[in-house]
Amino acid sequence: MSDILEFDNVTYAYAGRPPSLNGVSFKIERGKKLAIVGPNGAGKTTLLLMCNGTLQPDSGTVRVNGEHIHYDKAGLREIRSKVGLVFQNSDSQIFAPSVYTDVAFGPANLHLDPAEIESRVHDAIFAVGLSGYEKRPPHHLSGGEKKRVAIAGILAMKPDILVADEPTASLDPATAAEIMDLLDELQEDGTTIILSTHDVELAYSWADEVLLIAGGRILHHGTPEEVFTDDSLMLKARLTPPALLNLYTEFVKRGKLADAKPPKGVPEMMHLIEGSYEGVTGTIYTVDTDSIDEDAVKAIIAEKNCKVGAMGTRPKKKCFNAGVSLDYTYGIIDKAMLAALIGEDTLIFTCGGMLDRVKLRVKMFEDAGGAAIKVVRL
Amino acid sequence: MGGGFHLHLHKKKSEKQSIFSEDVLDDLAISSPLRKVPAAQKLVLCIAATVIAVLSPVIYLPLFVLISMIFASLVLAKVPVRIYLSLLTIPLAFGLTGAVVLLFVTGGGETIYDFFTFAGFHIQITDKSLNLAMLVLARTFAGMCSLYFLTVTTPVTSLFKVLRDVHLPQEFIDLTMLIYRYIFVFIGEAIDIHNAQVMRGGYSTFKDWISAFSMLTSMLFIRTWEKGEDIFLSMNSRCYDGVMLLPEEDTQTSVKYAVIIFAYLSLLVVILALEMIL
C-alpha cells in the first residue's frame, strides 16, 4: 500500500508564539483510520490545518499522494479537492442558507457540471442520512444534524482523505457513535480518515493507528494497544487509559488474568475474565439489505424473532421505511457478539463491505482466543 | 417520505412560541400554507399594496388593505392570532407615538377639543389634525400588515432567487445569504453572553446595565470578526472560487395566484381612483 499522506520534519509557529509543531514526521497508508490524540494545546488542530495546506510549514514538507503541496492558488485548490477538512465547530463550516446549497458549495466551486453536482449532493446527503432535509436552513438543525451536514459538504467533493477535527465533541454519546459508524462506512468505501480527539475510548476502539502528540511533538505512533497500555506515555500526554484497558491492567497486576493481548473490546474482556465458553449457542445472522425489499426485511424479522440491529445508512433507511424498530443502531457487532456468548441470536441488517466487517470482527475475537461465534449470512 | 428518516435526531421544539424566540418568523414562513406561492408574486403584492395604500388621500383604502392583509395572514396563512398580535405591538408603539404628535402639532379646521393654552400656544385637537393622525396611522399599519403578510408566508431563502431575477449583483446576493445564515448564529451568541452575564449578576443596576451591555456588544463584535475568519477558512477549504448556489424552491407555477393578486391590486387601484375623484 502507498502512503497517502506524509509529514516530514514539519515545524510551525504562530506569529510571536512558541512552536505549535516541532519536527513532526509521520506517514499514513491509504485507507487507514488514524486518530490524532493529545491534550488541549498539543498542536492537533495545527497539524490538521497543515493537511489541506491552510497553514504552510515554517520548515519541513507535507506530501499528499507522494507529491509536495504547492502553496499557490491552483496547487491549493488541487489539494483541497483531495483533502476534505471537517471543522470542530459546524456553525463555522455551514454558511449557506439551506442544507442543499451548503453541500453543493464544494462541487459547484470545483466547476462540475450541474447534473454531476446534483447527483453528488444527493448521494452525500443520503450517505449521512439526511434525505428530506435539503431545504432546511441550518439553524433548524440539531448539533448532530449540523455535523452530518458538515461531513456531507466534504463528501460531495469526493476527497481521498477526510480530516475531522474533534468530530464527536459536544455530541451526545449515541449521536457520536453514529457519526463514528458513518466514518467507518466511508472508510469502507476507500476514504482515508484522520481525526483528532482527546476521547481515548473512541480512539482506542475505532482507530487502526494512533498518533500521540503533546507539546507539538510526536510521542508515539503505533497501534492503539501500544499507545494506551504505556503508563508513562499516558502521563506525558495528560491522558487516562480507556476504562477497559485500565480494568485489564489492574486484573493483570493482581494475577487474576494471564498477561494476554490487551482486549480490543468488551467481548474479549468478558472472555478473559470468564474463560472460554463451552457451548456458544447464539448466532449472528447478517442480511444484505441491498438485495432485498422492505417486505422481505419484515418477513426475516418475523421469522427469526430476535434482537435486530442495522449498520450503515442504507440498511438503516430500509429498516426505517419498513417500519421496523431497531434494538441496536450503533456499536452493533460487539453487542451481537456479547448476546451470542449468552446464547441469544441477533439479526444484523447491513450491506456491501460492512458484511465482511462482521466476519472480521468475529475472527479477531476468535484469534484472541475467544469462542467461535456462528455468523450466518441469510 | 419527506424528512421522516433521520437516524433518531430530533430537534425538540417548544410547544409555545413567542416573538422573543429567535426564529419564530422563520418557522412561520417555512411551515406556511402559502409558501408555495411564488415569492416574486408575494413580493409584488406586498410592495404594490403598500404603495397604493400610502397614495390614498383618505383613510378608507388603507383600512381596506389593513383588513384584507390581516385576513390573509390569519385565515389564509393560518398564523396563530397570539403571535400575530404580539408582532403588531412593535409597530403599534411607534405608530401611536407618531400619531399623537401629529394630533397636537398640526392644525386647521374645527377645534374638537381644547386642552389648555400655554404661552399663547393652543394644545388642542382639530378635525384636520385628527384626520391626518388617523390617516398616517392607517397607512402605517396597512404597510406593516402587508410586510407581515410577506414575512409570515415567504422564507428568506426563497427571496434570494428574486434578488437575482431583478439583476442585483451576485456579490450582493452572496453577502445577503451569508448575513441571513449568521444572523441566527449571532442571536445565539448574544443570548449565550447575555445569560452568562445575568447568571453572574449583570444588569442589576443602571450602571451595571451600561457596563454589561457595552461588554456584550464589544464581545459580539469580536465574535463576529472571528466567525468571519472561520468562514473564510472554511470556504477556502472547500475550494471557494466565487460560486454560491441559490436555494431551490418548489413553488407552484400556477397562474391562479397571479390572477388573484392582479384582481386584488386592480380593486385597490379602482378604490384609489374613486377616492381621488370623489
- Domain ranges for chain B: 21-154+251-278, 156-247
Greatest mean pLDDT among A256-260, B13-17, B212-216: B212-216
With an 8 Å Cβ cutoff, are B9 and A133 in contact?
A: no
Residue A1: band (very low, low, confident or very high) from pLDDT cuts 50, 70, 90: low
ipTM surpassing 0.90, yes or no? Answer: no
Does residue B120 have a pLDDT over 80?
A: no
Q: How close B82 gets to chain A, by Cα (Å)?
A: 23
Our measurement of the distance from residue A329's CA atom to the centroid of its chain's CA atoms, rounded to an integer in Å, reads 15
pLDDT digits (tens, 9 = 90+) for A9-37: 999 999 888 889 999 999 999 999 999 99
Test mutation, B185, B234, B241, B249, chain A, max A CBs within 10 A: B234
Asked if A140 has any chain B CB less than 8 Å from its own CB, the reply is yes
- Contact indicator for A145, A130 with CB cutoff of 8 Å: yes
Test mutation, B239, B246, B248, B251, chain A, max A CBs within 10 A: B239
Cell numbers at residue A280, please? 456458544
Q: How close A20 gets to chain B, by Cα (Å)?
A: 19
Chain A CB contacts of B247 below 8 Å: 96-98, 100-101, 135
DSSP letter (8 states) at residue B217: H
> Cα separations (Å) of B254 from A26, B35, B39, B153?
61, 13, 12, 17
Residues facing residue A370 across a β-bridge: none
Identify the pLDDT of residue A259: 65
Residue B21: band (very low, low, confident or very high) from pLDDT cuts 50, 70, 90: low
From A92, A131, A140, residue closest to B230, measured CB to CB:
A92
Instruction: State which residue of chain B sits closest to A86, comparing Cα positions.
Output: B234
- Contact indicator for A207, A36 with CB cutoff of 8 Å: no
Q: What is the average per-residue pLDDT within A231-248?
A: 88
Distance CA A38, CA A47 (A): 12
Q: What is the average per-residue pLDDT within A103-130?
A: 89
Chain B CB contacts of A89 below 8 Å: 230
Q: How close A23 gets to chain B, by Cα (Å)?
A: 25
Does residue B247 have a pLDDT over 70?
A: yes
Identify the pLDDT of residue B18: 46
Q: How close A280 gets to chain B, by Cα (Å)?
A: 32
pLDDT digits (tens, 9 = 90+) for B49-64: 999 999 988 889 999 9
Residue A195: band (very low, low, confident or very high) from pLDDT cuts 50, 70, 90: very high
Identify the pLDDT of residue B157: 84
Q: What is the average per-residue pLDDT within A152-166?
A: 91
Please report how many Cα atoms fall inside a 13 Å half-sphere around the Cα of residue A260, on the Cβ side: 18
Identify the pLDDT of residue A300: 86
The bridge status of strand A59-64 relative to strand A217-222 is: unpaired
Q: How close B187 gets to chain A, by Cα (Å)?
A: 11
pLDDT digits (tens, 9 = 90+) for A120-144: 999 889 888 888 888 888 888 888 8
Identify the pLDDT of residue A338: 86
Report the run of H or E that residue A63 belongs to, with start and end: strand A59-64
Q: What is the average per-residue pLDDT within A315-327?
A: 83
pLDDT digits (tens, 9 = 90+) for A77-89: 889 989 999 998 8
Identify the pLDDT of residue B150: 92
Does residue A260 have a pLDDT over 90?
A: no
Identify the pLDDT of residue B12: 37
Does residue B16 have a pLDDT over 50?
A: no
Identify the pLDDT of residue A25: 93
Does residue B254 have a pLDDT over 80?
A: no
With an 8 Å Cβ cutoff, are B156 and A97 in contact?
A: yes
Asked if A141 has any chain B CB less than 8 Å from its own CB, the reply is yes
Residue B14: band (very low, low, confident or very high) from pLDDT cuts 50, 70, 90: very low
Does residue A157 have a pLDDT over 60?
A: yes
Distance CA A34, CA A224 (A): 10
With an 8 Å Cβ cutoff, are B233 and A54 in contact?
A: yes
- Contact indicator for A22, B207 with CB cutoff of 8 Å: no
pLDDT digits (tens, 9 = 90+) for A212-226: 999 899 999 999 988
pLDDT digits (tens, 9 = 90+) for A274-318: 776 666 678 888 888 888 888 888 888 888 888 888 888 788 888
Range of weakest confidence among A320-329, B13-22, B185-194: B13-22
With an 8 Å Cβ cutoff, are B237 and A52 in contact?
A: yes
With an 8 Å Cβ cutoff, are B3 and A129 in contact?
A: no
From A92, A106, A138, residue closest to B238, measured CB to CB:
A106
With an 8 Å Cβ cutoff, are B177 and A96 in contact?
A: yes
Chain B CB contacts of A80 below 8 Å: 236-239
Q: What is the average per-residue pLDDT within A188-210?
A: 89
Does residue A41 have a pLDDT over 60?
A: yes
With an 8 Å Cβ cutoff, are A129 and B8 in contact?
A: no
Identify the pLDDT of residue B7: 31
Chain B CB contacts of A174 below 8 Å: 8
Chain B CB contacts of A151 below 8 Å: none
The bridge status of strand A83-86 relative to strand A21-29 is: unpaired
Buried b (16+ CB within 10 A) or exposed e, B138-163: bbbbbbbbbbbbbbbbbbbbbbbbbb
Average confidence score pLDDT of chain A: 87
Does residue B277 have a pLDDT over 60?
A: yes
Q: Which of residues 194-233 of A touch B (CB under 8 A)?
A: none
DSSP letter (8 states) at residue A291: G
Kindly tell me the burial class for residue A110, based on how many C-beta atoms sit within 10 Å of its own C-beta (0-12, 13-18, 19 or more).
buried
With an 8 Å Cβ cutoff, are B236 and A80 in contact?
A: yes
